[in-house]
A = this chain, B = another copy of it.
Amino acid sequence: MADPRFFSVAGPFSLRDLAEIAGAEIGDGCDPQATFSDVAPLNTATSGDVAFLDNRRYVGEFEESRAGACLVHPDLAPKAPGGMALLLTPEPYHGYAKVAQTFYPVPVPKAGVHPQAAIDPTARIDDGCRIDAGAVIGPAAEVGSRCHIGANAVLGPGVKLGKDCTIGPRVCLACAILGDRIIIHAGTSIGQDGFGFALGADGHTKVPQLGRVLIEDEVEIGANCTIDRGTGPDTVIGAGTKIDNLVQIGHNVRLGRTCVIVSQVGISGSTATGDMVMMGGQAGLTGHLKIGSGARIGAQAGVMRDVPPGETVGGSPAVPMREWLKGVALMERMVKKKGK
């Protein structure tokens, strides 16, 4: 069970309810009235728990699991141990996500403004918001209904949030317009000046950064990230895109919808992506690139050229993944043969 100091479990729920929540079929002969009280991994689950099997690598654990119920692909159902209730679905991990959300719903923050928050009198705070201690909200900022502004977060002048946003502790937002249902984790800095200088031997002249950061609905951004505002055009994070921790996004970058950007990626100024682009950890992209929808960028890749839609690239400088893998294999053979 999750540590009750940090998490509150709901339930119990019947197998029938869980099947509906997960979009799953109940396995033959399983009792729809049976109830379950928690989720747990295959290897620690007991009779009251719901587990899931998503990766064939863990079939052995599945076969030996004591979980009371399990979300599993129908093809693997025959391997279930006796007595396990089955929730059959082609997407067990999605089903698990829904089930786990049901057992552990995100707590609705209790509305209210902490007396040690500092809210400018010209800011607009809509109904049902919670503003924690030390939060600072600047002049003319607008915070939509039911937002939660964490402790010591800072919203600069004019920043606008939609509804149901969760702004973590110590987040800083400036020159930013946010949609609805956005989550930003602790320590992320958004909307500061981009890195814009006219370089010169006697010193560098600062170029005013006159754009904004636009963050669309249902974006989630990790901890300690940095997203610079645009130079005149805006920096844009498309709806449903998920960004991990310590990611750097330069000025004028435009990320499409439902992209997945893993930790420590750096995207240089004015690079634009299509939708559903995936970037592995520590990848770096130079500026002014176009990355097509569905492209996949390997971890630690160094992307210096446009990437067509659907292409997978790897290496630094990045090339199509199959070429990079060929090069790695070739190098390995040469080292074995000739390396001294």
Q: State the majority secondary structure of interface residues on A.
A: loop
Contact B331 A203 (CB under 8 A): no
This protein's copies in its complex: 3
Does A39 touch B at the CB level, under 8 Å?
yes
What is the 8 Å Cβ interface bit string for chain A, positions 44-55, against chain B (1 contact, 0 not)?
Answer: 000000000000
Task: State which size class the interface on A falls in.
Answer: 35 or more
A168: chain B residues at CB < 8 Å are 172, 189, 192
Q: How far is the CA of A232 from the CA of B97 in the complex (A)?
A: 12
Output the residue of A276, A286, A300, A334 with the most chain B CB within 10 A.
A300
* 5 A–B contacts from the bound complex (CB under 8 Å): A168-B189, A187-B224, A187-B226, A195-B245, A203-B240
Q: How far is the CA of A225 from the CA of B172 in the complex (A)?
A: 14
A192: chain B residues at CB < 8 Å are 168, 185-186, 222-223, 245
8 Å CB contact of A208 from B100, B201, B212: B100
Name the distance in Å between A338's Cβ and chain B's nearest Cβ: 6
Name the distance in Å between A293's Cβ and chain B's nearest Cβ: 11
Does A323 touch B at the CB level, under 8 Å?
yes
A204: chain B residues at CB < 8 Å are 240, 242, 258, 260
Does A254 touch B at the CB level, under 8 Å?
no
What is the 8 Å Cβ interface bit string for chain A, positions 297-321, against chain B (1 contact, 0 not)?
Answer: 0011010000000000000110100
Q: How far is the CA of A228 from the CA of B262 in the complex (A)?
A: 13
Contact B284 A268 (CB under 8 A): no
Name the distance in Å between A335's Cβ and chain B's nearest Cβ: 5
Q: How far is the CA of A281 from the CA of B302 in the complex (A)?
A: 10
Chain B residue at minimum C-beta to C-beta distance from A195: B244
Does A124 touch B at the CB level, under 8 Å?
no
